[in-house]
Amino acid sequence: MPETTAAPPTPPIPLVALLAREDLGLRQIAGPVEAGAAVHMVHTSEMEDPYPYLLGGELLLSAGVLLKDPDRYVSRIVQAGAAALGFGLAPVHDTVPAALIEACDRHGLPLLEVPPQTTFTAVARAVWRLMAEARHRELRRVTQAQQGLAAAAARPDPVPAVLHQLASRLEGQAVLLGPDATELSTAGRAPVPEAGAALARLARVVNPPSGNPPGGAEGPAPASASDSIPGAHLAAYALGGSQGFTLGLATPAREAGDHTVAGVAVVLLSLLTAPHQGADGTGRSAALVRLLLGAGADEAARLLGAERWTVVHARGGRGTRLDASALGAALGSALVDPADDGTVRILLPADHEVTPQPGWIMGVSAPVSPQELPAADTQAARAVHRAAATRTDLVRHRGTSLSALLSPQEAAAHARLRLAPLADSPALLDTLRNWLSLHGSWDRTAAAMEVHRNTVRQRIARCATLLEEDLDDPDVRMELWFALRSL
């Protein structure tokens, strides 16, 4: 068969949903009528052969201006992968040509009659509206699945609970497979009896036996793989770490958003099954989930032991929780907290590399122990402010060399004494910190703090008065900066 281009990545709508729109008056007069036909987009063309301009999955609209050979015309449309043909009545044809109806029946292409009072623009608008509704349903479904998976991970038996939640959301079977592709835990019901053996084979693709790459190919194994057998769609995902675990999924069909939901489960299961030094796996999982659900650092620290962490603050995306979760997945963490002000906070093991992500600006803290997480949160917040002001994708917190000369207690005591005149005004302290970090720039400080430029000037002038210092003196600035960093 000729190779066709894949359909565009838009949420498809069933053709029957479009036919159900009474305001359009569309009527299917040829081709298969099963509910499986789906429309990915609308394309209007009066070309004699529109094949070169079709991507696949379209509802092609035409008034038949250059229709000369209906059989060849329909065969080319089918070859391009179009979903259906909409034929407009008037001004060229009063009725749909009989030869076109026969060709559509012969080639299995749904043919819709578009009445004269319905414009092609109205059909296209209806398709986009139905797609927008489908996208909204998909986002809502994914968000609800994420919340369900996070709650499942907080249970005393987190791995079976996550598998059960995943199987329920995807209406299929979720399986945790060991390094030798044996079933360790399973939830849900397989669509067909053969699914188990097929998943085991797929697991060996993403987690091949040591020294035996799949198919004898060189290079690393893929992180995920998919396949299908009669009655089931299969997917396998390698879980992070060196344990060789695989998540296998067997579902009756592949639905929009399934991959995103599975991705959240992969991150959670990777954390839940990862080895941990200094705390058992159950304790580590419980600590991660408690942090995800807003518990204090002290409570989690008792379970995390000596492990070190990095805090990331990010701004950007489109402001949705789905974007925040996608960012967390890209960085390798399910510990994501989307705040009301648009900032996303993410907690990462310190050995995870943080790299710039398209559409985001990020601030990264220094690696810290669990007891120091509040300080790391402050570091990340300052770093993302600096990133916003300097229009930089990623800013990392950097310690000062002077901090090594004094103990933290001595440095904090000096800072309290030096900044005592400003102690009752957090706004002045915050403004001075931002202003010094941005080398005295009024505009960038105003942008970082989201205040007016004159407000920054007035606050810095007030700081100079209360401290009785010349803030243009570099020695004074250095001393104040050290004190602010130690506070």
Q: What is the mean pLDDT of each run of 10 residues along the chain (487 residues)?
A: 45 89 94 82 93 91 93 94 93 92 95 95 93 84 84 78 90 88 87 90 84 52 86 88 80 83 85 55 54 55 64 78 69 76 83 83 86 83 85 79 55 82 88 89 88 91 90 85 80
The candidate with the shortest Cα–Cα distance to 484, out of 462, 467, 465, 461, is 467
Q: What percent helix, strand, coil does the chain show, rounded to 5?
A: 45, 15, 35
* Alpha helices per DSSP H over 249-406: 258-273, 281-292, 297-304, 321-331, 373-390
Rounded Cα–Cα distance for residues 214 and 223 (Å): 13
Sign of CA dihedral 291, 297, 299, 300: positive
Whole-model pTM: value is 0.47
Domain coordinates in residue numbering, the chain: 13-129, 155-273, 305-398, 403-486
The candidate with the shortest Cα–Cα distance to 246, out of 228, 227, 270, 229, is 270
Asked if omega into 115 is within 30° of 0 (cis), the reply is no
Q: Which residue has the tokens 């066709």?
A: 4
Phi-psi category of residue 346: left, alpha or beta, with phi > 0 → left and psi -120 to 50 → alpha: beta
The order of strands in the sheet holding 41-44 is 27-30, 111-114, 84-88, 58-62, 41-44
Rounded Cα–Cα distance for residues 24 and 471 (Å): 71
The partner residues of 113 in beta bridges, in order of sequence, read 27, 87
Cα distances (angstroms) measured from residue 156 to each of 36, 174, 282, 287, 289:
42, 19, 8, 12, 11
Rounded Cα–Cα distance for residues 96 and 270 (Å): 58
Phi-psi category of residue 25: left, alpha or beta, with phi > 0 → left and psi -120 to 50 → alpha: left
Q: Which fold has domain 403-486?
A: Arc Repressor Mutant, subunit A (1.10.10)
* Alpha carbon of residue 279 to chain centroid: 30
Q: Does 155-273 match 403-486 in CATH topology? A: no
Class in CATH terms, 13-129: alpha beta
Q: What pLDDT, on the 0 to 100 scale, is given for residue 286?
A: 60
H or E element at residue 248: strand 246-251
The candidate with the shortest Cα–Cα distance to 29, out of 104, 80, 92, is 104
Report the CATH number of the 155-273 domain.
3.30.450.30
Q: Nearest 5°: phi and psi at 378?
A: -65, -40
- Count the neighbouring beta carbons within 10 Å of the beta carbon of residue 483: 19
Long-range contacts of 131-137 (CB under 8 A, 24+ apart): 131/10, 131/11, 131/13, 134/11, 134/12, 134/13, 134/256, 135/11
The partner residues of 186 in beta bridges, in order of sequence, read 175
The candidate with the shortest Cα–Cα distance to 314, out of 287, 291, 335, 289, is 335
**Residue 45: exposure state from Cβ atoms within 10 A (0-12, 13-18, ≥19):** middle
Q: Which residue has the tokens 């710039």?
A: 356
Contacts of 380 by beta carbon, 8 Å cutoff, 6+ apart? 311, 312, 313, 345, 363, 364, 365, 397
Contact 425, 436 (CB under 8 A): no
Rounded Cα–Cα distance for residues 87 and 93 (Å): 9
Q: What pLDDT, on the 0 to 100 scale, is given for residue 321?
A: 56
The partner residues of 28 in beta bridges, in order of sequence, read 112
> b/e string for 203-225 if b means 16 or more Cβ within 10 A?
bbbbbbeeeeebeeeeeeeeebb
The candidate with the shortest Cα–Cα distance to 259, out of 83, 8, 4, 9, is 9
